[in-house]
């Protein structure tokens, strides 16, 4: 059944998802926070810097007015950067009058609080239907979804009925949606893999090969799984789309902003130079701060994450970081 759906955030992913939902027959509003960017989208119905070559259908309502965007919406999709989710949710809380259903697309862990995105939504939007908060995650670059390239993702919610609703809303012949009750695992898999993607980019920037990438992805998955299990996730979740699926895609894809950041660091650029030159957000940079704090707080061994943190924020030379990883004490491959 067609629904009225609000998509908050008109970046590449927000535009791709709004178009997808429109294709599925839903009535869609697309909210852009920045007034100038909103006017640009209204005048051009495309954004050549964020998602070149993709048009936004005229029937999608583009607005800078949050109350207009969410008024009467059966579902609200949050397609804003992870570190902006709380601020947007605070605005939603002030605006809405009735409980709503929320679907998060951001892949990150909040700096400071170390909250996952569903936790931020639940504690910030007190009027939200607490049984209807979910995250949609998996290997899903906006550039490919927008062009109808076959993609599979997972809808995670502690409420299986709500996860089924999301499947029905989003699924089509090019966008297959699975479901999971492991909200913790799906969110952490999607978030922590961005740090490993930065590491993958660094090794590529340094000129290393496929052997290095294969080892990095495998050992990266091991430390993501350790942290996930410590947080209460099912280890099998990390063998799925939001775990190894998203990890592989983000670490090797030319679309990956996190891999791109790492590659430029490996070639000698500074983090400040790289971020200043980027139009969109590389979530892994901020998530690295949170992931490092989580490893310290919970006593989870995350050697790759810790070395990426040293490279990004402590001026450690990338080549030395890799040397130190390779020179650690020998151990069993599989350990808990």
Digit-coded pLDDT (tens) for 194-230? 999 999 999 999 999 999 999 999 999 999 999 999 9
Find the CATH number of the domain harbouring 316.
1.10.1040.10
Both 159 and 226 in a single domain?
no
Least confident window among 8-12, 43-47, 124-128, 263-267: 124-128
Mark whether 45 and 170 lie in a shared domain: yes
Tell whether 33 and 128 lie within a shared domain: yes
Asked whether the predicted pLDDT for residue 127 surpasses 90, the reply is no
Q: Which residue has the tokens 């502690």?
A: 158
Please state, for a pLDDT cut of 90, what percent of the chain lies above it: 91
In this structure, are 207 and 77 located in the same domain? no
270 shares a domain with 209: yes
Examine the fold and report which residue of 181, 197, 227 is the final residue of a domain before the chain moves on.
Answer: 181
Whose structure tokens read 């996860």?
163
What is the pLDDT, as a whole number, of residue 37?
94
How far is residue 149's CA from residue 52's CA, in Å, rounded to a whole number?
Answer: 16
Query: Is 336 a domain residue?
Result: no
Per-residue pLDDT, averaged over 298-316, amounts to 97
Asked if residue 149 and residue 12 are part of one domain, the reply reads yes
CA–CA separation, 247 and 12 (whole Å) = 20
> Does 193 qualify as catalytic in the annotation?
yes
User: Are 119 and 66 in a shared domain?
Assistant: yes
The catalytic residue among 193, 230, 316, 331 is 193
Q: Is residue 334 part of a domain?
A: no
For residue 19, what is the domain's CATH number? 3.40.50.720
Rounded Cα gap, residues 4 and 25, in angstroms: 10
Mean pLDDT of 282-297: 96
Q: Is 290 found in the same domain as 192? A: yes
Report the domain count for the chain. 2
Look over the chain and give the mean of its residue pLDDT values, rounded to a whole number.
95
Query: Residue 336 — pLDDT band, cuts 50, 70, 90?
Result: low
Closest CA relative to residue 113, chosen from 234, 299, 289, 285: 289
For residue 164, being part of any structural domain is answered with yes
Q: Give the three-state DSSP class for 27.
A: strand
Query: Which two structure tokens, joined as six digits, stand for 261?
Result: 């950041």
- Asked whether residue 286 is domain-assigned, the answer is yes
pLDDT in tens, 166-175: 999 999 999 9
Same domain, 123 and 192: no
Predicted confidence band of residue 281 (pLDDT cuts 50, 70, 90): confident
Q: What is the pLDDT of residue 100?
A: 87
**2: confidence class by pLDDT, cuts 50, 70, 90:** confident
Question: Residue 270, Cα to own-chain centre: how many angstroms?
Answer: 23
Whole-prediction pTM: 0.96
Statement to judge: residues 52 and 177 lie in one domain: yes
What distance in Å separates the CA atoms of residue 59 and residue 43, rounded to the nearest whole number? 14
pLDDT tens digits, 242-265: 999 999 999 999 899 999 999 999
Domain that holds residue 259: 184-326
For residues 81 and 129, membership in a common domain is answered with: yes
Boundary (domain end) residue, out of 181, 212, 238: 181
What are the φ/ψ torsions at residue 322 (nearest 5 degrees)?
-70, -40
Q: Are residues 164 and 206 in the same domain?
A: no
């Amino acid at each position: 059944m067609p629904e009225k759906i609000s998509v908050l955030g008109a970046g590449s992913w927000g535009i791709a998802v709004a178009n997808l939902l429109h294709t599925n027959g839903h009535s869609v509003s697309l909210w852009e926070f920045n007034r100038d960017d909103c006017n640009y989208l209204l005048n051009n119905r495309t954004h050549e810097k964020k998602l070149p070559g993709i048009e936004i259908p005229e029937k999608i309502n583009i607005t800078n007015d949050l109350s207009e965007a969410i008024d009467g919406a059966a579902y609200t999709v949050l397609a804003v950067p992870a570190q902006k989710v709380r601020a947007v949710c605070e605005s939603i809380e002030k605006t809405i009058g009735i409980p709503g259903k929320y679907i998060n697309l951001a892949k990150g862990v909040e700096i400071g609080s170390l909250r996952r995105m569903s936790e931020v939504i639940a504690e910030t939007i007190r009027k939200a239907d607490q049984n209807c908060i979910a995250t949609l995650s998996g290997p899903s670059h906006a550039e490919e979804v927008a062009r109808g390239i076959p993609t599979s993702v997972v809808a995670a919610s502690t409420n299986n009925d709500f996860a089924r609703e999301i499947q029905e809303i989003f699924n089509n012949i090019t966008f297959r949606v699975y479901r999971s009750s492991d909200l913790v695992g799906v969110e952490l898999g999607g978030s922590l893999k961005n740090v490993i993607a930065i590491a993958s980019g660094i090794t590529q920037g340094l000129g290393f090969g496929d052997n290095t990438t294969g080892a990095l992805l495998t050992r990266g998955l091991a430390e993501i799984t350790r942290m996930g299990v410590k947080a209460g996730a099912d280890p099998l979740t990390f063998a799925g789309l939001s775990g190894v699926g998203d990890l592989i895609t983000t670490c090797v894809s030319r679309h990956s902003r996190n891999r791109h950041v790492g590659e430029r660091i490996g070639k000698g650029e500074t983090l400040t130079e790289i971020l200043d030159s980027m139009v969109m957000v590389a979530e892994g940079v901020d998530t690295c701060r949170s992931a490092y704090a989580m490893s310290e707080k919970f006593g989870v061994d995350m050697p790759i994450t810790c070395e990426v943190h040293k490279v990004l924020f402590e001026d450690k030379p990338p080549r030395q970081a890799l040397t130190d990883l390779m020179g650690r004490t020998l151990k069993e491959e599989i350990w808990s």
